[in-house]
Homo-oligomer: A and B are copies of this chain.
Amino acid sequence: MSVRLVVSRQCDEQHEKRCAGSKNHGKKNHLERVDAMTARVSCNDCSLSPICLPLAVRADELEQLDNIIRRGRAMKRGEHLYRAADTFDAVYAVRSGALKTYSVSEEGEEQVTGFYLPGEIVGMDGISTARHVSSAKALETASVCEIPFDRLEFLSSRIPSLQHHFFSLMSREIQADRELHLLVSKKSADDRIAALLISISARHKLRGLSATTFRLPMSRYDIANYLGLAVETVSRTFTRFQQQHILRVEGREVEILDRGALCGAAPREILQQPC
């Protein structure tokens, strides 16, 4: 039942077309060198496969999926994966590192719309417009797998479970947005920050990492922006949580000392899971 996957297949024609149109064209070669190891790992050998796209397909179908994916594009901190108004032709699975998505209003104010950790899919908001409506930026050194959307659609119509999984992913994205809506429109600053911490904690845990100790990939500004708060409020809340022995915070390093208190502050429906 196991399928051996060809490591290479890096440059099929779709890929070339895409590269040609990409603004980041110039960086490609450099980046592929940088990440030579991870770039070549097939889905089959990827540790993220249980929580990433491959979970939706049977082993014997995985090769088809594997073939359309361009793996391991490396990104440096601050680099853009795509920008608002870029043509949409792919979605991306985060392989390592972390990204944020954001849009910019006409006055130039930024709105952070999401944070993405390994195994999560970025870029689904551009489907309807054929252009990205937001931008995606690496919060730290990261790498992503590119999944050309037209091919994914084609494959989806052949593999029902993949189609379903993709509907499912988008549905989950909607759910998450609704929970965020509740958070931002009804909850206090404390609740919002607690909820974000718990969410990140849970996502770390899902990846087999510590649920209590982790490094926040984003700045206070990003947190504040995402949650609809002022930076100062975020900072003060962290300080207070620390005084109350709920957290230990040192810059971006966080240790959750009293999960119960956090959960109490943050309603649990935000987490989709018991605290």
* A binding-site residues for B, Cβ under 8 Å: 1-4, 14, 16, 103, 105-107, 109, 111, 113, 124-130, 133-134, 153-154, 156-158, 160, 163-164, 166-175, 177-178, 180-182, 184-186, 226-228, 267-269
Contact = CB atoms under 8 A, between A and B. Distances in A.
Given A127-B171, A174-B177, A269 B184 contact: no
9 contacts: A103-B182, A111-B186, A127-B171, A128-B167, A128-B172, A128-B175, A174-B174, A184-B185, A184-B228
Q: Could you say how many copies of this chain the assembly holds?
A: 2
Contacts of A170: 127, 167, 170-171, 174
Given A113-B182, A157-B163, A185-B226, 15 more contacts: A3-B105, A105-B267, A107-B267, A111-B178, A111-B181, A124-B171, A125-B175, A128-B168, A133-B175, A133-B178, A153-B160, A153-B163, A166-B167, A177-B178, A177-B181
Contacts of A105: 2-4, 182, 186, 267, 269
Contacts of A153: 160, 163-164, 167
B182 A227 contact: no
